[in-house]
Structure 1
């Protein structure tokens, strides 16, 4: 009897120790996601520690069993899978899979105030080691969908490192644009999120919703001196499969069909071509073509809220929006009417009591010295908020401006009675980009409206060169 008890006891010990990892060695059974990540990445006092992925994967990722390689499905529960999202090759920053980003893993220790942490295999990250220009951003493009007739909802879980002030925090926004478009969309929707909390935004269709459309996720405002990081995970897109009138030919955003799929060891996503936000060399050279007046007219007279071919580009963390008469706004300080019936316009909407600026830049224009006449840029503007102004400048900071609207006095607001004004200002001689800047001192909340009109040879706006 004792002999059988000894045999049973020895067998029991072998079973117990056989289930445990050897001392000092990594066993994938106990740490699937973090076996190759040194503990030092997380910091000794970090509130985030390695643990099994099922402990922190969001409920959305666990519940979403539909893979993104299904036809028309843009859901992406994990970026290490075959998601239909990719970097562009013309942006300043890159989205990386978190597990392949050493800096991203280091930044995990700086995350605060969250219930669940990013999954290194499932999350994507943008990191910087120092301050970057405010307009430098990373763009993530979806595969094209045939059309977008009605709004699409996008759900994202996001995190960002804390900074000294809220103005220094990385920002996230989602947009829609037509395939092959070379201008920045003006209907971007900021994603206001808390770390680890799933957030949903509604994206309006682009100008030509019946043609091929791509969704764009933008991370920007990496201006913190010490560097910063922005994480996203668990993308879910609803209403992407919409009925279109016939088959619309959509352009692929892939450069090469033989690109290898993204793997965990890759540093970035497959780079795919998309002209977006950045001005191409061909566009810059166009301003030096023989017909200078046509170039000036085409660039400055085009209303980016009305046409998808305008050569205007969003800059900075805040984007001008497309407005129309049906929009909801403050009845006293908001823009509710179009300057011309039926036409759209740009709106800079100030909703917080902090100084802000909305910036757009044109393509490069050349105003020759030997033209023999002065050219005037004519436009509509709406300002009914004390502390707000519209500026037209040669630089994004507003240091070299050739037009600044007067800050309306409280007594002026009654006389204006929420009306658009029409102005024609002389264009300076030289080669430059025109920066449209809508700014607010933070004293009052409200809107600024702007609509491009034409380029003329007289201050009254009668002799159109177009």
Structure 2
């Protein structure tokens, strides 16, 4: 089974080209994770991977991308990708733009899967400008973007490497593994090549990993709006222990990060992909980590954990990091919502199906407040990246600490017309300390209109190119 839409040149999407029919997703609870193995993207291999269909770029076999071999000298190795390896090639573009390979659905993704692959990427004099690769998970029905459960894949050109597959947001529900190539920010763009994908581990669904209480609550379809501050206090107390169990899973992966990503030994130039088992965290270490997490009691999450939690979509019922505060609830916007095209927010950012809207259409409501969970920001540069939508003069958006020390404020329309009436990405530096983030939308004038908002992630740089998670 070839990669979907592999006949397209993936340097830039040509909207005039018709897409190949999407391959039907299949889920077989008895099928082992090895069913996702894919050595090369040829018809006979029947690989259970496909392009997402809504990215800026598409993966395609090397022999279907005319510019692939032009990048081989920039790999700086003697062993090149196979002609049927997956290729993701692009000219210079925004760092977050790229292409995703999505697996077929598996029954669930807990903490026992490991992905091994052989990857190459083009070299650049500035290592930060080289393309990057992530391995992510997403439950069936979750928002397609942004990807929140991701682990960086270390690339050593031509050498098989392994990484633990992140636990899905709900380890008990069907999910996909996603391979995301991005960061084509070099002066000439870049290229990523991928082959010999191997998934090891079990997809058996156990109820031991996470208490069902948190998931039953998250799946309550009768709750129609964001919970206000008072109603969430009781729920937060009930869910705190469940949150700690999720944190402990991430702690184990973070603590093992120096040893669980490693090259697989080579024999006579060929990798022992079938016989070599990647080293796992020693049981004694894992047990000690689990005990330490359990004994520590409630604690402030690490910056990585905060980044993961913060990136959830506040309009989703299973997003516990954000909550509406005060008498006015942010509206949950959706695709094709009814809105004034001149002063309202008629659509969402990127591929997001839902987003938040502060609607000022009368003289009664003059502010909306969104409050985060508590976070600890170190002295090193940490930037909060988010989407904002402005179309009306007099409306403002401020982002402050719980002490109302505001570190971001937008209080007028941008002079450049192209920045108005559209979603823009902003990244603002977070002040050091322990606090909650307050996002405040206000109407300080007499005009009627709306403000749109959606968090993205934490970044190490002001351009949102080096995400922390």
Q: What is the TM-score normalised by the length of structure 2?
A: 0.51
Out of 357, 360, 368, the position equivalent to 1:366 is: 357
Work out the CA distance in 2 between the residues paired with 1:116 and 1:149. 35
Pair 1:98-2:51 in alignment: no
Could you give the per-residue CA deviations for residues 349-397 of structure 1, whole angstroms, max 9, x where no partner exists? 79xxxxxx9998884322122352322111233234213455475459x
Q: 2:95 aligns with which of 110, 113, 134?
A: 134
Q: Is 2:198 aligned against 1:239? A: no
Superposition deviation, residue 92 in structure 1: 1.4
The residue number in structure 1 matching 2:258 is none
After superposition, the C-alpha distances for 1:216-267 in whole angstroms (9 at most, x for unaligned) are 111011112212111011101101453669xxxxxxxxxxxxxxxxxxxxxx
- Residue matched to 1:402: 398
Q: Residues 232 and 211 of structure 1: is their aligned pair in 2 closer, same or farther, counting only changes over 3 Å?
A: same
Q: 1:404 to 1:210 in 2, by over 3 A?
A: same
- Number of residues paired by the alignment? 286
The aligned residue for residue 422 of structure 1 is 436
Match of 2:28 in 1: none
For residue 117 of structure 1, report the CA deviation from its aligned partner: 1.3
Structure 2 unmatched runs, 5+: 1-30, 208-222, 237-244, 256-291, 314-348, 390-395, 408-431, 444-449
2: CA distance between counterparts of 1:441 and 1:229? 23
- Report the Cα distance in structure 1 between the residues aligned to 2:67 and 2:143, rounded to whole angstroms: 32
Q: 1:343 to 1:213 in 2, by over 3 A?
A: farther
Q: Is contact 2:34–2:198 with CA below 8 Å preserved after alignment?
A: no
Q: Helix, strand or coil for the counterpart of 2:99?
A: strand
Q: Distance in 2 between matches of 1:438 and 1:150?
A: 24
What is the aligned partner in structure 2 of residue 188 from structure 1? Answer: 150
Question: Do 1:390 and 1:404's aligned partners in 2 also have CA atoms closer than 8 Å?
Answer: no
Cα deviation, residue 189, structure 1: 0.8
Matched, 1:89 2:53: yes
User: SS of the counterpart of 2:70?
Assistant: helix
Q: What SS does the aligned partner of 1:109 have? A: helix
1:324 pairs with 2:320: no
Residue in structure 2 matched with residue 380 of structure 1 by the alignment: 373
Evaluate the alpha carbon distance shift between residue 404 and residue 223 of structure 1 in structure 2; reply closer, same or farther with a 3 A threshold: farther
Q: How far is 1:342 from its partner? A: 7.2
Q: What displacement does 1:120 show?
A: 0.7
Larger Rg: 1
Residues of 2 paired with 1:381 and 1:390: CA distance?
16
State how far apart, in whole Å, the 1-side matches of 2:66 and 2:167 are.
Answer: 37
- Does the C-alpha gap of structure 1 residues 401 and 222 become closer, same or farther in structure 2, counting only changes over 3 Å? farther
Following TM superposition, by how much is the alpha carbon of 1:133 offset from its aligned partner in structure 2, in angstroms? Answer: 1.6
Alignment of 1:38-77 (within 5 A): 73-77=35-39
Q: Structure 2: how far apart are the matches of 1:448 and 1:231?
A: 24
Structure 1 residues not aligned, in runs of 5+: 1-68, 246-292, 308-321, 331-335, 351-356, 409-417, 450-466
Asked if the contact 2:124/2:186 (under 8 Å) is kept, the reply is: yes
Shift of 1:110: 2.4
Q: How does 1:262-273 map to 2 (within 5 A)?
A: none
Matches of 1:439 and 1:83, distance apart in 2: 34
Preserved CA contact (<8 Å) 1:386 1:407 = no
Question: Do the aligned partners of residues 422 and 325 (structure 1) sit closer, same or farther apart at CA in structure 2, a change above 3 Å counting?
Answer: farther
Q: Which consecutive segments of 4 or more residues in structure 1 shift more than 6 A?
A: 298-301, 341-346, 357-362
Determine the structure 1 residue equivalent to 2:134: 173
CA–CA distance in 1 between the matches of 2:406 and 2:250? 24
Relative to structure 1, is the Cα distance of residues 151 and 213 closer, same or farther in structure 2, using a 3 angstrom cutoff? same
Pick one of 72, 82, 105 that aligns with 1:119.
82
Matches within 5 A, 1:264-303: 297=226
- Please give the alpha-carbon distance, in whole angstroms, between the structure 1 residues aligned to 2:198 and 2:59: 18
2:425 corresponds to which residue? none
Deviation at 1:210, TM superposition (A): 2.1
